Structure formats: structure tokens, C-alpha cells
Amino acid sequence: MAARAAAHAQPQLAAEHQLLRSELVIKDQELATNKQELATRDQALAAKDQELQQLRFDLAAKDQKLATTEQELIAKNQQLAVKAQELTAKDQALATNKQELATKDQELQQLCSNLQSALDRIGVLERNQGAGGSASNFDGPIPQVPLATLASATNNFAADSLLGEGAFGRVYSASLPAPPVAVAIKKLSAESIQHYAAFQAELKSLSKFRHPNIIVMLSYAEAQGDYCLVYEFMPNGSVRDRLSCKNDTPPLTWSQRHRIAADVARGMHYVQTALPDQVLFHLDLKTDNVLLDAYFNAKVSDFGLVRAAQHLDDKSYLRTQNVQGTKAYMCPVFFGESKITIKTDVYAFGMILLELVTAAKPGPTLKTDMRKAVKTQKFVEMLDSALHPTEAEGQSVSEIVTLALECLDDDADERPSFGQLIVQLDP
């Protein structure tokens, strides 16, 4: 029975076993399918991972590019800021330049006005000279110009513009614009500036008048302690320069010298008589301060020591505490006793006459030698060797030597006045 039971159970076991195998096959197939799906998913995941890596790489590249762009942007912004600063600076400079240009334009307009006024003065002077040399009155003050204009015209008072130097400062040549005019600019020295107040006050009284034989002051400049006086330019320089034949210039003819003497006498007579209630004294009359224009007309210049006195007659004098001037031309009474009279400048004029005759250096020795030469009738030996006077000119020379010694008389009362000298010197 057990055998029958076993035999009966075998087919059942085989069927179960077969069923299990079928299930196992199915499971294996499912597992294979799952593995295949898993492999596919792994491949997809690997592809996704690769894509992710590529995205990360691209993102890193973009980040780097963005960082570079940001740096470039920062640099551009910095450049833009610098450009903005430069533009602001240029705008400020342009505004400053416009303001300076406007100021310069105003100065130029003022200068043009002043120069036109000065040229009008010269025009009146020239008309007066052509009409007989009468003096003129000017109610308007001497125009003031900017010091910067004069500095520019002389290249900041450069040495190559220097004409000469005297006790009161240096004189420079220049050409002022609008309209162009040649001028001489005197820049006062520090020593003379100490006396500028008195000098200016006295010069203002003289500046109201013009005379053909007095140098014309065109304008002046005054700024920050610097003072400049602008005069008409005298192309032939000083009488002293011409007597010395400076720069190989030809010697003055006797006719020119005689006219110079007459011109100076007329100018000095005007100085002493121009003001109705005052007498003016030059006190530094010398050949260095007598200038010659293009036609060798003489004009007295350098009124830095000019003094004034009220109602002074032939017997009166003015005493000064400060004797200044050039010793070789000083009247003995002026030098020794500090007394100024209307004949003080006549003494200096006498020395100028001797210089015109001899071309010698001025001083007491020249006066003494000429007196001796006149007494011994040998004054011809003292004449300038460049002079070769005709017989008529020789007579004129003799007369001027006589006048010179009269002007150099130690006794001021014995000296002629400038009015008397004009009568004798005028042709």
C-alpha cells in the first residue's frame, strides 16, 4: 500500500516539479528582463550622468566667461570713471580758459582804449610840433595798463629787450599791440620805488602838459609793488650814445648838435614855466637823459628827480635834504649847500653844451680845460675830432662855447635863463 501510495505520488511530484521549473524559467525570464531593463536604465543613467558632466563643464566655462566679462566690465567702468574725471577736468579747464580769455579780452579792450588815448596824445603833440612847437594841455590822466601786458611785450623783461640802465631802473624796448606802437618801458628799481609816492605826485603835475622837446609818457603799470612807465620810443637813443658813436653809429653833425642844444633849451624853459603857480626843476639833466627821435629831434627825459617850488624868483632858492643826481652835472651850490634855484638846471645844460662841442666826458675837468683853452684861444683843439666845421659853423661853435661857460658860472646869478638861451640858440 505504501508502494501504491508512492507510485501514486510520483506523477504529482513530477507535475509540481515541472510547475516549479516553469515558474523558475518565468522568474529567470523576468529576472533577465529586469536585468535588461536595469542595464538600459544604467545606460540611460550613465548618459544622463555624462550629460550632467557636460552641463557642469559648460556651466563652469560660462561661469569663467561671466567672471571674465565682469572683470572686463569693471575695467571698462574704471576707464569710464577715469574718462569722466578727465572730461570733468577738461570742462573745468575750458571754463577757466574761457574766464581767462574773457579777462584777457577785457584787458585787451582796455589796452586798446589806453593806447588809442596815448596815440591821440602823440597826434596832438605832432600837430603842435608842426605848428611851431607850442606846448599842449591834457585834462585826462595818463592811462594805466596791466603789468602783464608789459611783461609779455618784453618777454618778462628779458635781457635781449634791455636798452639801458640808470639810477631809477632799467629801460626795455617793446612793441605794444592794437594798434602796434614801439615803446620804451622803464621798470623802476627797488631803490627808486621808495620815493615813488613823491615822484608820482610831481610827475602827475607835469603829465598834464606836452611839449615837442619833452619825452611823451604813454601809460603806466602798477601792480604788487612793481611800477613801470611807458614812453614813446626814441630810435636814435641818447645824445651820449651818439657822441660816443655807440654801435658804430656815425657822429652827429654840427647842425644836429646845434639843434639838439636849442631843443633842450626849449624843453627846459617849458619845464620851468609850464605851470602858472609852480617852478619845476629837473635836477638830472644830462646827455644820457636827452633822447633823439628818428629825425634827431631832442627830447628831455627821466624826470625821476623832478622837484617843484611855489613862486620861486631869480633870487630865491629851495633847500633839499636829499641831494641826488649825477655829480658831473651838479651846480656847486646845489652839491655843496643843497640849494636849488631856477639856474641849477642851467649849469647842467652848460655841461651838455661842452659835451656837444667836444664829445668829452662831463665834469669839472672839462669845464676847467675849456676855460683855459678859451683864454689861450686854443679851444679849437678841444673840438670833437669828428667835427669839421665850416667857417660859418666855426663861428657858431665859438658862440656855443661862450654860452656853455656862461651857464657854468659858479655864481648862479650870472648864468643866463633858459628863455635867454633860446633866443641865442634858435636859428
Quote the Cα angle for 329-330-335, to 5°: 160
Residue 39 has pLDDT above 60, yes or no: yes
The answer to whether position 6 is within a domain reads no
- Do 280 and 206 meet the contact criterion of CB atoms below 8 Å apart? yes
Residue 212 has pLDDT above 90, yes or no: yes
Mean pLDDT of 174-192: 80
Same domain, yes or no: 256 and 383: yes
Which pLDDT belongs to residue 77? Answer: 86
Same domain, yes or no: 214 and 254: no
Which pLDDT belongs to residue 400? Answer: 96
Same domain, yes or no: 200 and 303: no
The answer to whether position 14 is within a domain reads no
Tell whether residue 187 is among the known ligand binding residues: yes
Positions annotated as catalytic residues are 284
Residue 178 burial (CB count, 10 A): 12
Residue 108 burial (CB count, 10 A): 14
Same domain, yes or no: 96 and 128: yes
Residue 99 has pLDDT above 90, yes or no: no
For the chain, give the number of residues: 427
Residue 108 has pLDDT above 60, yes or no: no
Same domain, yes or no: 226 and 326: no
Query: Is the model more confident about 303 or about 76?
Result: 76
Written as one letter, the residue type at 46 is: A
Residue 195 has pLDDT above 60, yes or no: no
CATH number of 283's domain: 1.10.510.10
Least confident of 30-34, 317-321, 339-343, 398-402: 317-321
Query: Is the model more confident about 378 or about 252?
Result: 252
CATH number of 117's domain: 3.30.200.20
Which pLDDT belongs to residue 111? Answer: 53
Residue 370 binned pLDDT confidence (cut-offs 50, 70, 90): very high
Same domain, yes or no: 311 and 226: no
Between the alpha carbon of residue 162 and those of residues 170, 215, 229, 319, the distances in Å are 7, 19, 14, 36
Same domain, yes or no: 303 and 416: yes
The answer to whether position 10 is within a domain reads no
Same domain, yes or no: 321 and 395: yes
Query: Is the model more confident about 316 or about 332?
Result: 332
pLDDT, one tens digit per residue, over 139-174 is: 457 888 898 889 999 999 999 999 888 767 789 999
Residue 176 three-state SS: strand
The domain in which residue 61 lies consists of 40-233
Same domain, yes or no: 214 and 263: no
Q: Which of 11-20, 37-46, 146-155, 400-409 shows the highest mean pLDDT?
A: 400-409
Same domain, yes or no: 256 and 212: no
Listed residues 198, 233, 268: the one ending a domain: 233
pLDDT, one tens digit per residue, over 282-319 is: 888 999 999 999 999 999 988 777 676 655 555 555 54
Residue whose C-alpha cell reads 611855489 in the numeric block: 310
User: Cell numbers at residue 354, please?
Assistant: 661842452
Q: Specify which residues 361 forms β-bridges with.
A: none
Structural domains in the chain (count): 2
Listed residues 233, 260, 275: the one ending a domain: 233
Residue 375 has pLDDT above 80, yes or no: yes
Listed residues 191, 214, 233: the one ending a domain: 233
251: Cβ contacts below 8 Å, ≥ 6 apart:
242, 243, 245, 359, 384, 386, 387
pLDDT, one tens digit per residue, over 241-283 is: 999 999 999 999 999 999 999 999 999 999 888 877 777 888 8
